[in-house]
Amino acid sequence: MKSKGGSRPTVRPGTRRWAATLLAVAALTAACGTGRAADPAASRSAPAAEAVRAPAAGSGSQAWHAVRAGGESGMPPGMSSGPALSVRAAGQSAGCRRAKCIALTFDDGPGRYTGTLLRHLADHRAHATFFVVGRNVAADPGPVRQAVEAGHEIGNHSWSHRNLTTLSGAEIRSDLARTDRAVKAAAGVTPKLVRPPYGAFNETVRRQTTRPVVLWSVDTEDWRYRDSAAVARKAVKSASPGGIILFHDIHPTTVKAIPKVLESLSARGYKFVTVSELYGGKAPKLVYGGSPRPAVAL
Ligand code: NI
């Protein structure tokens, strides 16, 4: 079934290009496609909630991107479209205010195709961010180590891709910590970013970490469209400066699409950076919370 809501950002007109980004995440849909965590019955979609329009902050010079729904994966059973949530980046790095930066992100790995993806990225001198699943890292630490050595960033995508909103605070902390330990053991680094499975988070999840929760501005829905040309087309068409594009490197069709994505966006002048690089070489200060106002800085 085709995605209902679509995930194309709408940008408030008259705003400065390199300003902060708001991702208003309304509903969470669809299936993760990991084959591990996703429940087939979970692909029933929830009604798409309205995208949040956050007020322009400060001088009004920010460019806001309101994103309608678009799950990074399957709607967990029993999960309904929650309150609209918004994410705002505090600001981009100096380099990315001058250059045309974009962050490619790859979830749910590492997997058997991650090594190939790393070669594609190296061929184009591109950096990316991998939101890894802890148990996959423990099972095969090599790709994470190689990714870090190549200058990529590693984010925490939970231990086993459970919907964190169904867990207690203690369970969430334990889950994230277990994943951190696996990444540390594999590559000697601790993730500075968290991306909750399915993009699903609530106040309980948010309180369990001081790290930024990083969602995305473009969902390629690559778990749904197992078609390299379609995935590449969607990524290229939806790209915008300062954007964060969601892929899953567990799908061979996605990895096969990446050279085309890199070539096309390079030709348009994009520089491929990690999420932290996008926001200044440090953990990005994302702001997130419900409408109507950009909420709490973490
Ligand atoms: Ni995921």
Residue 297 alpha carbon to ligand 1 centre in Å: 24
Q: Count the Cβ atoms, other than its own, within 10 Å of residue 87.
A: 29
Mean of per-residue pLDDT scores for the chain:
72
Per-residue b/e over 254-279, b at no fewer than 16 CB within 10 Å?
bbbbbbbbbebbeeeebbbbbbbbbb
Identify the pLDDT of residue 71.
44
- What is the C-alpha separation between 298 and 287, in angstroms, rounded? 6
pLDDT digits (tens, 9 = 90+) for 218-258: 899 999 989 999 999 999 999 988 889 999 999 999 999 99
Reported in sequence order, the residue ranges of 22-115 that DSSP labels E, i.e. its strands, are 22-25, 65-67, 85-89, 100-107
Q: What is the pTM of this model?
A: 0.71
Residue 189 alpha carbon to ligand 1 centre in Å: 21
Residue 196 alpha carbon to ligand 1 centre in Å: 7
Bigger pLDDT: 219 vs 279: 219
Residue 19 alpha carbon to ligand 1 centre in Å: 28
Q: Structure tokens of 153?
A: 């960033």
Residue 28 alpha carbon to ligand 1 centre in Å: 12
pLDDT digits (tens, 9 = 90+) for 56-111: 222 222 222 222 233 444 333 333 333 323 333 445 666 787 789 999 999 999 99
Residue 37's identity, in one-letter code, is: A
Alpha helices in the chain (DSSP H): 94-98, 114-123, 134-139, 142-149, 169-187, 203-207, 228-238, 252-267, 275-278
Q: Is 192 helix (H, G, I), strand (E, B) or coil?
A: coil
Residue 134 alpha carbon to ligand 1 centre in Å: 11
Catalytic positions: 107, 248
Q: Count the Cβ atoms, other than its own, within 10 Å of residue 251.
A: 24
Residue 176 alpha carbon to ligand 1 centre in Å: 14
